[in-house]
Amino acid sequence: MSQSIAKEEDNRGYRDSFKASAVLGGSQGVSYLLSLLRTKALAYLLGPAGIGLVGLYTSIAATVGTVSGFGIGESGIREIAAAHGNGDQEKLSRTMTVLRRASLISGIFGLILCAALAIPLSNQVFGNSDHTLPIAILGFTLLLGTVNSGETALIQGTGRVTELAKLNILSSIAGILPVILIYIWFREKGIVPALLLSSILTLGITCFFSRAIHLPIVKVTWREMVPETKLLLALGFAFMATGLLGTGKDMVVRTMITQNHGLVATGLYQSAWAVSGLFANFVLRAMGMDFYPRLTSMIDDHEAMIRAVNQQIEVGILLVLPGVIATITCAPLVLSLLYSSKFNGASGMLAVLASGVFLKMASYPINTIQLAKGDARGFASIAILCSLLELAMTVALLLQFGLIGAAIAYPISCLFHVLIMAWVGKRMIGFRPQGKSLALLGQGIVLVLMALLVAFLVQGYTAFGCGLILSFFSFLYCARELTRRLGREHRITKMISKLPLLKSLLPQNE
């Protein structure tokens, strides 16, 4: 294969990764901008204590929902992607029929489970039974959310990137105004009704897009569902176990903070946690929506998988690094803009948590190898190990150093996850990080460390100025490296080449 052909194939791989990340990430960006308006309104209307209460309710619903959902939505994505990749429309229709029924059943189970556990959960989390009724009502959000995950799996598994992008944006638009009105009218008493309304609107919009996908009519008896459901549950239980540890960990940490430091401290931690991933979560979600099904279609070609994983790591880092640097160095300003000055006490936590998000970006594509291969046992084992490790470190450092200790535990656990996943990837498909991805990761770590030094050692306007300079430099660097990978004929490269400053930074001989 000639050098020019090989380079063009590499560019094509980067373009595939970038296209999905850009389209879905762009829609996530719009969604986050809209959610920022809602968050700003919540911070003004409810304050830190109210934000902490929202976080606790959300953690409770997520934990119970993970148990009752059995990971069916996530495993359904793989089965649908496999059937769609083979062009088997009948198999696709059968899988979707089974998935819809299984989602409804698990959603009803979630509703019942949430009601049954309402009293003990209220006593455990809040120390009293005052929140029993709101927790019981949260069960309806589980029913709606589980059904929604099944419908979303069809859109995602069939690779409908544009529809997913529209779904993200419309769901955010539909939910913002009525939800804010509920909070204005009812304040803290409106938290659960607002969560319920958001679930209803999201499901309605998702069904609009999923029902537009025409599938052949296939009759599936309840007896025939058994083997199909077993396939969903095989990987689904792995998702459930890992998801339960993740949401359970969050609930345990927030409960400990509430009991030892108060609800205001929980609100500060919740705000830092939410904002830390703001500039990276849209890329991570884009990876999950596109990269997971795309990697599944390559399961018999390990070299193609290795190449795709390396390319996704590089594109992900280049897309989020400037935002992570800006979040770290301008944490007080970011919190004031997104919440209010009452949340500035979370700036140190935000800076540390954001550094962990960068490492998570590097490990996520490697982690997807296990999902694409359907290695349920290995995926669950590694995820459980990493979650327990993170929980142990978070609890220990929280008790020793307070809120900042809980934040420090996150990047440490993310670093361990990168190393563990690199080892797992090598064992499964012979994964090896390419020189370009290793160099990019190392350079990114250096920039993140420099940003942390600025955040903790420099004060006032000097810190803000240094943060802007470092953020701008990282943006220029990432723009140059991204255009190098996309090729000179890509529209992003051509657009950048029209800007005087950026044009001089573009590779001239590639």
**Cβ(467)–Cβ(330) below 8 Å:** yes
The proportion of the chain whose per-residue pLDDT surpasses 90, expressed as a percent, equals 13
Average pLDDT over residues 95-107: 89
Q: For residue 276, what pLDDT is reported?
A: 80
| Domains identified in the chain, total number | 1
The proportion of the chain whose per-residue pLDDT surpasses 70, expressed as a percent, equals 85
Task: Residue 496: give the domain boundaries.
Answer: 3-503
pLDDT in tens, 428-438: 888 888 888 88
Average pLDDT over residues 381-409: 89
Is the pLDDT at 25 greater than 70, yes or no? Answer: no
220, part of any domain: yes
pLDDT in tens, 301-351: 888 888 888 888 888 888 888 888 988 888 888 888 777 778 888 888 999
Is the pLDDT at 397 greater than 80, yes or no? Answer: yes
Is the pLDDT at 256 greater than 50, yes or no? Answer: yes
Average pLDDT over residues 140-150: 91
pLDDT band of residue 6 (cuts 50, 70, 90) is: very low
323, part of any domain: yes
509, part of any domain: no
510, part of any domain: no
Listed in sequence order, the residues at least 6 apart from 393 whose beta carbon sits closer than 8 Å to its beta carbon are: 409, 412, 413
- The larger pLDDT score, comparing residue 303 to residue 28, is at 303
pLDDT in tens, 134-143: 899 989 999 9
Start-to-end Cα distance in the chain: 18
245, part of any domain: yes
Instruction: State how far the Cα of 238 lies from the Cα of 222, in Å rounded to an integer.
Output: 24
Closest to 167 measured CA to CA, from 193, 192, 191, 149: 149
Instruction: State how far the Cα of 295 lies from the Cα of 157, in Å rounded to an integer.
Output: 11
Q: What Cα–Cα distance (Å) separates residue 98 from each residue in 88, 227, 245?
A: 16, 10, 27
Instruction: State how far the Cα of 244 lies from the Cα of 386, in Å rounded to an integer.
Output: 13
Q: For residue 449, what pLDDT is reported?
A: 93
pLDDT band of residue 494 (cuts 50, 70, 90) is: low
Q: Taking all residues of the chain, what is their mean pLDDT, rounded to a whole number?
A: 80
Of 399-403, 424-428, 435-439, 504-508, the poorest mean pLDDT is in 504-508
Instruction: State how far the Cα of 290 lies from the Cα of 24, in Å rounded to an integer.
Output: 8
Give residue 78's identity as a one-letter amino acid code: R
Q: Which two tokens stand for residue 336?
A: 């004031």
Q: For residue 290, what pLDDT is reported?
A: 66
Is the pLDDT at 119 greater than 90, yes or no? Answer: yes
Q: For residue 136, what pLDDT is reported?
A: 92
Is the pLDDT at 131 greater than 60, yes or no? Answer: yes
Q: For residue 18, what pLDDT is reported?
A: 55
pLDDT band of residue 498 (cuts 50, 70, 90) is: low
Q: Which residue has the tokens 């009601």?
A: 115
Buried b (16+ CB within 10 A) or exposed e, 282-317: bbbbbbbbbbbbbbbbbbeeeeebbbbbbbbbbbbb
The three-class DSSP label of residue 314 is helix
Listed in sequence order, the residues at least 6 apart from 133 whose beta carbon sits closer than 8 Å to its beta carbon are: 118
Q: For residue 385, what pLDDT is reported?
A: 86
pLDDT band of residue 509 (cuts 50, 70, 90) is: very low
451, part of any domain: yes
Q: Which residue has the tokens 């959603």?
A: 107
pLDDT band of residue 73 (cuts 50, 70, 90) is: confident
495, part of any domain: yes
Radius of gyration of the chain (CA): 23
Q: For residue 111, what pLDDT is reported?
A: 93
pLDDT band of residue 1 (cuts 50, 70, 90) is: very low
Count of residues in the chain: 510
Q: For residue 461, what pLDDT is reported?
A: 79
Of 47-51, 59-63, 199-203, the poorest mean pLDDT is in 47-51
Average pLDDT over residues 190-213: 87
Is the pLDDT at 389 greater than 70, yes or no? Answer: yes
Q: What Cα–Cα distance (Å) separates residue 326 from each residue in 145, 319, 452, 467?
A: 33, 13, 11, 7
211, part of any domain: yes
Instruction: State how far the Cα of 383 lies from the Cα of 394, in Å rounded to an integer.
Output: 16
pLDDT band of residue 5 (cuts 50, 70, 90) is: very low
Average pLDDT over residues 22-38: 65
